[in-house]
Amino acid sequence: MGQMPTVALHTLGCKLNSAETAAIGRRFLERGYTLVPVGEAADVCVINTCTVTARADRECRQIIRRALRAPTDPLLVVTGCYAQLRPEEVASIPGVDLVLGSREKFDVLSYLPEVEEGRGPRVHVSATGLADDFGPAATSAADDRTRAFLKVQDGCDYTCSFCTIPRARGASRSQSIEASVRQAEELVAQGYREIVLTGVNVGDYGRTSGTNLLSLLRALENVQGLQRLRISSGEPNLLTDDLIEAVSASPVLCHHFHLPLQSGDDAVLRRMRRRYTSADFAARVEAIRRRLPDCGIGVDVIVGFPGESEARFQRTTEFLTDLPVSYLHVFTYSERPDTPAAAYADPVSPRERQRRNAVLRAIGEKKRLAFHLELVGRTVPVLLEGDVRDGRRMGLAPNYARVAVLNSSVSATRNSTVSARPTPSVISTGDSTVGNGEGAREATSENTIVLARITSATAACCEAVVVNEEGTLQGSERTAGTRSVAGGARFAGVEGAREVRGAEGVEGADVVRGTSP
């Protein structure tokens, strides 16, 4: 196989898997490999798998078959949760050369020489009870994302009746604050503007080592040059008032929470072995809304769990309809081998599961539309991404609203910054069709933060025009010295729905003032 100059990487599943794939990719880059897409000619192909649902298992097998259709015959490595729980099943798939468990995945390069000997698929999977190490992982140059994912926690000590993750990843454990800060500094030095903290149960951070998530957040806030810090998700019973207050008071922490509800019916929650009631969950959401009225709140929910009668499903439907959240991630229950729920009585038929999924997805779409419509007329900082759709540059607001910036440059290179000088005809607050007034300058590039006024919204995303190029956010200070003005509903120097003030800002709806009139 020679020098094995090319490697293809593919991730299935969660943000944690994405961070770990990036860490694996970094090891290959350090050894002189070049990254190529799955399906193209590659010497090695690494697939990092998920096993949350039966669909995830099927998708893994599809990706393996796709990799084997590449012009060359790659050395195929499968790792991740599916490989950890079903190593022999994975090894039996034609074309798989190496199966690595959760502990072994980061040492993939050390296992390649033995596979070259060609004696059939090799399996190296340790029991998760031995998983007392951490396996640091963070997005790097091996990944093409604009935001960086930093793994700070792994494993889970919860015993939810439907979940295989504790068996796949072992006991809860955390990376030290010092190591996390060091990795965050490295990511900022690489040019990342936003870091997303990931883990299986991020809210459990530090419990076994005498610290906690709040202490980690306070340390990371002080990383020079870090402009956004986002928590990927967290158990509602671990979301304290102190954490909510910290997010409210911070110029760096994003106004965004993602909480796993799973069911709005208490009987189903008990059967799932969740650690809260629906009333507890609603109280946490209300606490967020009270302190952070502009916050984006996402919710995970599972439909079709055994014993979820029609009446119990209706309770979930009514609960979610009334809950002031921003969007839903709806999952159809899937029996996972060796979990207590797989043996429960009163299963819901597959057809009924799909119907219920569609019902909750429709509720989720309405909530997402309402969330986006609340932003119309406001100005928010948008971190732009590489994804260009119909001439619009896509990006994220701090509260996780997806924004399509109109009239933006689609040819700028990564990390370049083009100044924006919108004219009055560009600064429109009502129309989704926005003109390019004379003298208007376009912005911007991937990984650039701009101030953009939301002009219209759909359930899919908001549309916006650039108000001014924010660049480095005026050094370490945010515009007007704070991210949140007027009760937290507006961002970075926005005061009122139609005003942006500052040296390069807009005052009123029709006048552009400052250095670029």
- Predicted pLDDT of residue 136: 58
Please tell me the pTM assigned to this model. 0.76
Give 399-434 pLDDT, tens digit per residue.
Answer: 999 999 985 443 433 333 333 333 222 222 222 222
Check whether domain 6-130 has CATH 3.40.50.1110, yes or no: no
- Predicted pLDDT of residue 191: 87
Span(s) in the chain for CATH 3.80.30.20: 151-169+180-373
Most confident residue range from 131-145, 314-328, 420-434 = 314-328
Cβ atoms 198, 232 nearer than 8 A? yes
Angstrom distances, CA of residue 47 to CA of 10, 105, 131, 323: 5, 10, 21, 38
- Compute the distance between CA of residue 313 and CA of residue 303 in angstroms, rounded to an integer: 8
Angstrom distances, CA of residue 46 to CA of 11, 67, 149, 274, 313: 9, 9, 19, 34, 40
Give 45-104 pLDDT, tens digit per residue.
Answer: 999 988 767 777 778 888 888 877 777 778 899 998 888 888 888 898 888 999 998 888
pLDDT at 13 over 50: yes
Give 205-250 pLDDT, tens digit per residue.
Answer: 999 889 999 999 999 999 999 999 999 889 999 999 999 999 999 9
- Predicted pLDDT of residue 60: 80
Q: In 228-312, where do the E strands start and end?
A: 228-231, 256-262, 296-303
pLDDT at 440 over 80: no
- Predicted pLDDT of residue 443: 38
- Predicted pLDDT of residue 67: 79
- The mean pLDDT value of the chain amounts to 79
pLDDT at 166 over 70: yes
Cβ atoms 195, 228 nearer than 8 A? yes
Q: How confident is the model at residue 4 (pLDDT cuts 50, 70, 90)?
A: low
pLDDT at 252 over 70: yes
Q: How confident is the model at residue 5 (pLDDT cuts 50, 70, 90)?
A: confident
Q: What is the mean pLDDT of residues 297-306?
A: 98
- Predicted pLDDT of residue 446: 67
Give 452-488 pLDDT, tens digit per residue.
Answer: 999 999 999 999 988 875 443 332 223 222 222 222 3
- Predicted pLDDT of residue 470: 47
The residue length of the chain stands at 517
- Compute the distance between CA of residue 397 and CA of residue 377 in angstroms, rounded to an integer: 14
- Compute the distance between CA of residue 385 and CA of residue 516 in angstroms, rounded to an integer: 26
Residue recorded with tokens 């370049």: 416
SS3 of the chain: helix, strand, coil, percent, to 5: 30, 20, 45
Question: Which of 66-75, 301-310, 326-335 is predicted least confidently?
Answer: 66-75
The percent of residues in the chain predicted with pLDDT above 70, rounded, is: 77
Span(s) in the chain for CATH 3.40.50.12160: 6-130
pLDDT at 320 over 60: yes
Q: What is the mean pLDDT of residues 378-389?
A: 85
Q: In 410-501, where do the E strands start and end?
A: 449-457, 462-469, 484-485, 490-491
Cα dihedral: 270, 272, 273, 274 (round 10): -90
Look at residues 210, 186, 90 and name the one whose alpha carbon lies nearest to residue 136. 186
Q: What is the mean pLDDT of residues 251-277?
A: 97
Q: In CATH, what number does 151-169+180-373 get?
A: 3.80.30.20
pLDDT at 138 over 80: no
